[in-house]
Amino acid sequence: MLREPESRLRLITMLIVAVTLLIVAQLVRLQVLEHAAHQAAAQELVRRQYSLPDPPWGCIRDRNGDLLVGNAPRYDVGAEFRRVVDPAAAAALLAPLLNRPVAEVQQNLTLQPEDEEHGFGWHLLARQVSPETAGKLEELGLPWLTLTPTWERCYAEGALAAHILGFVNEDGLGYGVQAYQRRFLQGQRVVRVGDVSGDAQPLAGEVASEEGLPYPGTDLRLTLDRTIQAYVEGELDKALLDYDAQGGVILVLDPRTGEILAAAARPSYEPVRYADYAAQGETAIFRDPAISQTYEPGSVFKIVTVAAALDSGRADLNWSYQDRGTLEYGGVVVQNWDRNPYGQQGLAGLLTHSLNVGAAKLSTQVLGPELFYRYVRAFGFGQPTGVELAGEAAGLVHMPSDWNWEDGFLATNSFGQGIAVTPLQMAAAVAAIANGGVMMQPHVVAERLYPDGRSIVIPPRPAGQPVAAETAHLLSELLEHVVDEMPEAQVPGYRIAGKTGTAQIPGMGGYEQDAVITSFVGFGPLPDPQLLILVQLDRPGVPVAMRWGTQTAAPLFQKVAARLFVLLGIPPAAD
């Protein structure tokens, strides 16, 4: 019989051997049998897809090659904060250079609970610092400080053409041509798969794979003329002061091509400061009043109504009606702007005196809903124009098939009430009359110039022909007669066609009291119009008796048209 100490020793030895065998078996399982699976899992923890710094975006120039938007070299500043010995001292050193509060910098240099949880080891300290600042930071010799090259969009003319140029934010969202043409402007980045830290910062080591070749963005040449744009914006700013208006738009188009030569809109902003506006909750200012904000056009829309009557053959220059000053239709009482009767009138008198009753007669008794709205849609209302700008609105046209249709819409829509359009839609529609009945799609991009030297010129694009050439010719003559009776819009030496509009502003529960939007749209010189100009003023604050398109928008049109004819070298008519 074994002695008790020997029995215990043997038992302990057996236990040790058993545990050792279990450990060895587990190691064999982990290191041999499941080696591939665990290696893949470990690699997955540190191997991620990431992008190298973006190449520069394409530049944007005006039609003559003048720079509007370019790039400035910048650096993003970060810190491998786990290597920082004294965060307080480092923050005091960096904060003045980064223009950041010391407390904010110190927090970013200090390990936070979420860093511990996710294994983060890097924090962003500042975005897009200048090369001068980056040089000063580099001179500090801080081994844990990182400087990543990047680019910042710079605007050569400040806020000029802000709504057209727009911006793109860090999330890839934005406004204007930069947002619409982002896929061309931003170029191509290199995408790598390699080792990264817990917060997805690339680590030194072998790159597993790489996709794409870095190349800069495509340059754009716009249809805008920088000189015309600057002049038009200046005149709009003066008019807002002169008429105490809250906002306004001036559009200048070539009706033959649809090219937008200038587009001034107020209120506006500085694109380089878009982040400041967003931080203050002022994002509404990014919406371009020319394409994103709709309004009831008022009497300018009578051009569409008369065009429909002429083109359909339902009325001609011999058509007339008895104007009694009022007309009732569909539960709506239509009155002329001055509530006066005008007796026997034809199409010329309807347009010259801007008679609401005459327009309603045409839509309700001559055309009818099916024919009237067929022309309204043919002129592009109720749908975006397709201009290369982000944020374009479609407007609103109530159709007889709509659930909320009211019979009275047929009467009020004829003179631009109860219908919502954008200034660009209105300009494009009237430009079709100026262009012999052919509507051209408005556009701001004239050419794309690729990094490899290729270029693509964007040709003019017809967007339909709402009326025949003969209709456009007759209507142009009628609109010339309108201007002949309106000295405020005349340009000496030039034949001009055009029409005013004075529209009420819908609000909650009805129209705003004594608040209007005044406008004038005109084209010339006849017989071959080279310019179409739309002027719109939002809520002019002049005395009520002067709150008409004739007193506010028409004189502004006259001034702008006279100057642009000279700038573009368009000669007056021969004596």
Q: 472-499, pLDDT tens digit by residue? A: 999 999 999 999 999 999 999 999 999 9
**Residue-level pLDDT at 120:** 74
What is the average pLDDT across 335-364? 98
pLDDT confidence band for 338 (50 / 70 / 90): very high
Do the beta carbons of residue 245 and residue 538 sit within 8 Å?
yes
Domain limits for position 96: 74-154
Domain boundary among 154, 189, 218: 154
pLDDT band of 41, cuts 50, 70, 90: very low
CA distances from 567 to 124, 151, 434, 570 (A): 50, 36, 21, 8
Mean pLDDT of 452-468: 97
The tokens for 338 are 């001055």
- Predicted confidence band of residue 110 (pLDDT cuts 50, 70, 90): confident
Query: What does the pLDDT read at residue 2?
Result: 44
**pLDDT number for residue 4:** 59
Confidence of residue 15 (pLDDT cuts 50, 70, 90): low
- Residue 507: predicted pLDDT: 87
State the average pLDDT over residues 123-131. Answer: 91
Q: At what angle are helices 469-484 and 423-434 packed, to 10 degrees?
A: 110
Which of the residue ranges 194-198, 347-351, 365-369 would you say has the lowest mean pLDDT?
194-198
Among 13-17, 47-51, 258-262, 291-295, the least confident range: 47-51
Q: Which amino acid is at 137?
A: L
Q: What is the pLDDT of residue 531?
A: 99
| 178 domain residue, yes or no | no
> How confident is the model at residue 45, as a pLDDT?
43
Q: What is the pLDDT of residue 29?
A: 58
**Is pLDDT at 224 greater than 60 in this prediction?**
yes
Q: Which helix (H) or strand (E) holds 193?
A: strand 191-196
In terms of domains, do 460 and 335 share one? yes
Half-sphere exposure of 397 (CA within 13 A, CB side): 24
For residue 81, the model assigns a pLDDT of 83
d(CA 265, CA 248): 6
Count Cβ neighbours within 10 Å for each residue of 260-294 and write b for 16 or more, e otherwise. bbbbbbbebbebbebeebeeeeeeeebbbbbbbbb
Identify the bridge partners of residue 504 per DSSP, sorted by sequence position.
516
Same domain, 510 and 386: yes
Whether residues 425 and 539 share a domain: the answer is yes
Report pLDDT for 509.
Answer: 83
Q: pTM, whole model, 2 decimals?
A: 0.85
Q: Does 9 reside within a domain?
A: no
Q: Indicate the average pLDDT of the chain.
A: 90
Does pLDDT of 199 surpass 50? no
Considering the domain boundaries, does residue 50 fall inside one?
no
Residues 6+ apart with CB under 8 A from 112: 120
Q: How confident is the model at residue 28 (pLDDT cuts 50, 70, 90)?
A: low
Number of domains in the chain: 2
pLDDT tops 80 at residue 200: no
Q: Is the per-residue pLDDT at 23 higher than 80?
A: no
Same domain, 283 and 371: yes
**What count of residues does the chain have?**
575
pLDDT for residue 43? 45
Residues 148 and 267 both lie in one domain: no
Indicate the residue among 154, 187, 203 that finishes a domain: 154
- Compute the average pLDDT of residues 92-119: 86
Q: Cβ neighbours of residue 320 under 8 Å, at least 6 residues apart?
A: 344, 345, 346
Mean pLDDT of 413-441: 98
**552 and 427: one domain?**
yes
Looking at the fold, whether 318 and 460 belong to one and the same domain comes out as yes
Q: Are residues 297 and 402 in the same domain?
A: yes
CATH code assigned at 115: 3.30.70.2110
Residue carrying structure tokens 């509007």: 68
Read off the pLDDT band of 95 (50, 70, 90). Answer: very high
Digit-coded pLDDT (tens) for 75-84: 999 999 888 9
| Amino acid 265: pLDDT | 98
Q: How many CB atoms lie within 10 A of CB 152?
A: 17
In a domain, 147, yes or no: yes
Return the higher-pLDDT residue of 199 and 484: 484
The counts of H helices and E strands in the chain are 19, 21
Task: Specify the higher pLDDT residue, 226 or 192.
Answer: 226
How much of the chain, in percent, has pLDDT values that exceed 90?
A: 76
Domain-located, residue 123: yes
Terminal Cα-to-Cα distance of the chain (whole angstroms): 142
Domain shared by 333 and 465, yes or no = yes
Are 543 and 549 in contact, with CB atoms under 8 Å apart? no
pLDDT at 393 exceeding the cut of 70: yes
Same domain, 291 and 390: yes
3-state helix, strand, coil in the chain (%, to 5): 40, 25, 35
> 195 in a domain, yes or no?
no
Between CA 519 and CA 303 the distance in angstroms is 13
CATH for 243: 3.40.710.10
Tokens of 431: 């430009």
pLDDT score of 559: 98
Least confident of 66-70, 106-110, 212-216, 507-511: 212-216
Domain boundary among 134, 154, 174: 154
- CB neighbours of 51 closer than 8 A, spacing ≥ 6? 189, 190, 191, 192
Task: Assess if residue 513 is contained within a domain.
Answer: yes
Are residues 417 and 298 in contact, defined by beta-carbon separation less than 8 angstroms? yes
Sequence-distant (6+) residues with CB within 8 A of 276 are none
Tell me which of 105-119, 316-330, 376-390 is least confident: 105-119
- If asked whether residues 147 and 283 sit together in one domain, one would say no
Amino acid (1-letter code) at residue 89: A
pLDDT of 189 over the 80 cut: no
In-domain check, residue 416: yes
pLDDT of amino acid 191: 54
Continuous segment of H or E residues that includes residue 513 = strand 510-524
pLDDT at 13: 66
Q: Kindly write down the DSSP assignment for every residue of 52-80, as one continuous string.
A: PPPPPPPPEE-TTS-EEEEEEEEEEEEE-
Mean pLDDT of the region 249-275: 98
pLDDT in tens, 143-176: 999 998 888 999 999 999 999 999 999 888 999 9
Reported as a single tens digit per residue, the pLDDT across 44-68 is 444 444 445 678 999 999 999 999 9
71, 211, 282 from 277: Cα distances, Å: 21, 36, 5
